[in-house]
Amino acid sequence: MKKQDIINYNRIAEAIDYIKENFRSQPNLDEVAKQVHLSPAHFQRLFTEWAGTSPKKFLQYISLEYAKKILKEEQATLWDTSFQTGFSSTSRLHDLFINIEGMTPAEYKNGGSNLHINYSFAESPFGPLLVASTEKGVCYMAFEDEEGKALNNLTLKFPNATLYRKVDLLQQNALLIFKNDWSKPHKIRLHLRGTDFQLKVWESLLKIPMGKLSTYGRIAKQIDQPKASRAVGSAIGNNPVAFLIPCHRVIQSSGALGGYMWGSTRKAALIGWEGAKTYSEMGEKK
């Protein structure tokens, strides 16, 4: 690592520590930049390059995690949570939850108690899977051999939602993808909840063509965060929808397959199957 890179890294580390220690006062860009002896503009650019997100977004994530902890563990009111997190009003906390979590603070506190989810089990070329959907789209899909374990994982993901074992059209449209019906991808609707960064990563994964592969570094560059490969890997690891969001198409820059939430053997099988199907389709067109 070059000397200047070391200096920059130390500055960003110092800034991160400062934000973590002082987030309750909601420091602005100028205040944090002053702590590391940089101009606001230079600090903004440098922080985003090294941390994979802007200082403002990082502050929001830290604040949100603290607010979530208070709501869950202490069962605090929205006003108390807002005050302890450093927000001037409950509306700011509400907006933060909507923008990052995709739900209101009350909905988070209740663990999705007003959410109705249909789920069903299905067979795929790569083993049994569970697929779940809300009225908006598929919210969860996972490979799992044991139905009990699969349902438990879904329950952990949506602890207070009302679950119904029921097949619906949203699930059926999603499962068509295993039958090589690529002609109607617009019928596959997803209902995803994640941070802005996670959603950007998942959107980038959707752009990887079937039969092709990408790397963590390449994905980081595509979302304009070239030094955020590790954060990209974390976002990929949190992908809630197997296969439809093709995180299996991302490998290490060395050519190694890397990890996969549903097993490295299954990842290799998925890549091989897609490659064979693509090759076969190309042969038929010649």
Question: Measured between alpha carbons, how far is 198 from 196 in angstroms, rounded to an integer?
Answer: 6
What is the three-state SS of 22-44? HHHHCCCHHHHHHHCCCCHHHHH
**Strand, coil or helix: 65:** helix
Catalytic residue among 76, 232, 247, 250: 247
Could you identify the residue written with the tokens 């109705």?
A: 116
Question: Measured between alpha carbons, how far is 101 from 94 in angstroms, rounded to an integer?
Answer: 10
CB 134 within 8 A of CB 193: no
Asked if 247 is an active-site residue, the reply is: yes
Of 240, 153, 171, the C-alpha closest to 199 is 240
**Strand, coil or helix: 211:** coil
Question: Which residues are designated catalytic?
Answer: 247
